[in-house]
Amino acid sequence: MSQHLTPPIRRALLLTSLPVYILLYAPLALIAVFSFAPAPGGTAAGLHWYDALLHAPNVLAALRRSLTLALGSSILGTVLGTLMGFGLSRFRSRARSGFAAALPSLIIYTPIIMPSLVFGISELIFFNLMHNATGLFAAGLLTMGIAHVTFQAPYVALVVFARMAGLDPNLFEASHDLYANGRQSFLHLTVPVIRPAIIGGFLLAFTLSIDDFTISYFTAGPGSTTLPIYIYSAVARKGISPDINALATLMIATVIGIGLLQYGFTRQKDRLAVPRTGD
C-alpha cells in the first residue's frame, strides 16, 4: 500500500505519526530515566531507588498481594474464559443467522466495553448486598479476586473464541468420525489446538489484573492494598517520588516481557494453522 503513496504524502504521514509515537513512548522513557535518579544528597545516578523499594515493607506487601491476586484470578479467569469461548463458538456454529448468531459476540464484548468505573461500582454494590445478606463477601482480596475473574474471563473468551472461529469446523466432526467421544475430542483435539490461545489469554488476564486500578479500588477492603492502589495513594499523599518511578519502570518491564511472551504464542498459533484446501 505504501508504495502507491507519493513522497510528499509519505513525508506528511511521517510527520504526523512521529508526535503520536513520541506521546506514546516518551512518558514511559521519562519515568525510566527518572527512576535512576541519584539518592537524596547524592549526585551519582544509579539503582538507589530500586534498592529503596526492596527495603520498603509496604511496597513488598503490596507487590505480593498483587501477584497473588493476579495469579489466582488469572488461573480461574482462564479456565472460565476458555470454557466460555469454547461454548460460545459451539453455539455460534449452530445458530444460523440474525440475533442468535450475534449473541455470543454480544455476550463477550459487553463486559469488555463496559467502563471499568461502572463495572467497579456495580461490583461494590453487589458485594455489599451479598455481605449484608450472607455475612460472606467482606471486601478484601477475595472480592477483588472475584471482580478480577469477572472482567478477565471475557478477554480470555475473546481470544479463545477467535481461535475457534479460525479453525476448520470439520476438525471437530473429523474427531468424532474417528471414534472420539465428546470428552476425548475436547482433550485430544480442542485443548491442544486452542492451547496457544489459552496461554495467550492467561498472560493477557495476568497483565490486566496486575495493572487494574479502578475495579480493584472499588472492591478492595482493609489490608488488601495492591500495587496500583499503593502507587495511587502514595502519589496522592506525597506527590511523585523517585521510588514510584522505579516501581513504575519495573511494571513497564514486566508488562513488556509478558507482551513479548504472548506474541511468541500467537506466532505459534500461525504455525499451527493449516490452509483449508489446495496447495
Partner 1 sequence: MTEATLPIRNTQGPDGAAPRGAIRLEGISRVFGGGIVAVDQIDLDIRAGEFFTLLGPSGCGKTTLLRMIAGFETPDTGRILISGREMQNVPPHKRAVNTVFQSYALFPHLSVAENIGFGLRMRGVAKAERLARTEQIMALLQIDAFARRNPAQLSGGQRQRVALARALVNEPEVVLLDEPLSALDAKLRAELQVELMRMQKRLGMTFIFVTHDQHEALVMSDRIAVMERGRMLQVGPVLDVYEQPRSVFVAEFLGLSNIWKFTPRPGNVAETALGALAINTRIDTQRTAMIRPEKIWLYPEADAPRDRPNTFPGVVREAIYMGASTQYNVELPGGAIVLALDTNNQAAERSWGPGERVVLELKPGNIMLIDG
Give the footprint of partner 1 on this chain (CB under 8 A): 96, 168, 170-171, 173-181, 184, 188-189, 192-193, 195, 271-279
Considering the complex, state which of residue 36 and residue 91 has its C-beta at the smaller distance from partner 1: 91
Q: How far is the CB of 84 from partner 1 (least distance, A)?
A: 22
Considering the complex, state which of residue 83 and residue 171 has its C-beta at the smaller distance from partner 1: 171
Considering the complex, state which of residue 194 and residue 246 has its C-beta at the smaller distance from partner 1: 194
C-alpha cell, 160: 479463545
**Do residues 73 and 145 touch, judged by C-beta distance below 8 A?**
yes
- What's the gap between Cα 6 and its chain centre? 40
> DSSP assignment of 176-240, as one string?
HHTT--HHHHIIIIIHHHHHHHHHHHHHHHHHHHHH--HHHHHH--TT---HHHHHHHHHHHH--
- Angle 216-261-92 (CA atoms, 0-180°, nearest 5)? 75
CB burial string 244-274: b at 16+ within 10 A, e below = bbbbbbbbeeeeeebeeebeebeeebeeeee
Q: How many CB atoms lie within 10 A of CB 146?
A: 17
Q: How far is the CB of 271 from partner 1 (least distance, A)?
A: 7
Considering the complex, state which of residue 63 and residue 193 has its C-beta at the smaller distance from partner 1: 193
263, amino acid identity: Y
Q: How far is the CB of 1 from partner 1 (least distance, A)?
A: 27
Q: How far is the CB of 198 from partner 1 (least distance, A)?
A: 13
Q: How far is the CB of 218 from partner 1 (least distance, A)?
A: 41
Which 8-state DSSP code applies to residue 168? -
**Do residues 194 and 201 touch, judged by C-beta distance below 8 A?**
no
Considering the complex, state which of residue 17 and residue 184 has its C-beta at the smaller distance from partner 1: 184
Considering the complex, state which of residue 46 and residue 182 has its C-beta at the smaller distance from partner 1: 182
**Do residues 156 and 81 touch, judged by C-beta distance below 8 A?**
yes
235, amino acid identity: V
**Do residues 84 and 155 touch, judged by C-beta distance below 8 A?**
no
Q: How far is the CB of 213 from partner 1 (least distance, A)?
A: 38
Residues in the chain: 279
CB burial string 4-14: b at 16+ within 10 A, e below = eeeeeeeeeee
Q: How far is the CB of 80 from partner 1 (least distance, A)?
A: 23
Considering the complex, state which of residue 22 and residue 273 has its C-beta at the smaller distance from partner 1: 273
